Amino acid sequence: MSRKTLNISDELYDYILSVSLRESEVQQQLREATRELPVGGMQISPEQGQFMGLLVQLIGAVRTLEVGVFTGYSSLSVALALPDEGHVVACDVSEEWTSIGKRYWQEAGVAHKIDLRLGPALDTLDQLLQAGQEGTYDFAFIDADKTNYSHYYERILQLLRPGGVIAVDNVLWGGSVIEHDKQDEDTVAIRAFNQQVYQDDRVHLSLIPIGDGLTLLRKK
Ligand code: CA
d(CA 1, ligand 1 centre) in Å = 32
With 70 as the cut, is the pLDDT of residue 2 above it?
A: no
| pLDDT score, position 55 | 98
Q: Per DSSP, what are the bridge partners of residue 114?
A: 88
Q: Which pLDDT tens digit goes with each residue over 153-204?
A: 999 999 999 999 999 999 999 999 999 999 999 999 999 999 999 999 999 9
d(CA 212, ligand 1 centre) in Å = 7
Q: Which pLDDT tens digit goes with each residue over 21-36?
A: 999 999 999 999 999 9
d(CA 114, ligand 1 centre) in Å = 19
Q: What is the DSSP string of 35-95?
A: HTSTTGGGSPPHHHHHHHHHHHHHTT--EEEEE--TTSHHHHHHHHHS-TT-EEEEEES-H
| pLDDT score, position 40 | 86
d(CA 189, ligand 1 centre) in Å = 14
pLDDT band at 95 (very low <50, low <70, confident <90, very high): very high
Q: Which pLDDT tens digit goes with each residue over 35-87?
A: 999 888 889 999 999 999 999 999 999 999 999 999 999 999 999 999 999 99
d(CA 171, ligand 1 centre) in Å = 9
d(CA 70, ligand 1 centre) in Å = 9
CA 194/CA 110 separation, integer angstroms: 33
d(CA 139, ligand 1 centre) in Å = 17
With 70 as the cut, is the pLDDT of residue 1 above it?
A: no
d(CA 173, ligand 1 centre) in Å = 9
d(CA 174, ligand 1 centre) in Å = 11
d(CA 65, ligand 1 centre) in Å = 15
d(CA 74, ligand 1 centre) in Å = 10
Inter-helix orientation angle 46-58/73-81, to 10°: 30
With 60 as the cut, is the pLDDT of residue 17 above it?
A: yes
34, 50, 185, 206, 213 from 210: Cα distances, Å: 20, 11, 23, 12, 5
d(CA 143, ligand 1 centre) in Å = 5
Low-confidence winner among 4-8, 17-21, 110-114, 133-137 (lowest mean pLDDT): 4-8
d(CA 186, ligand 1 centre) in Å = 12
With 70 as the cut, is the pLDDT of residue 151 above it?
A: yes
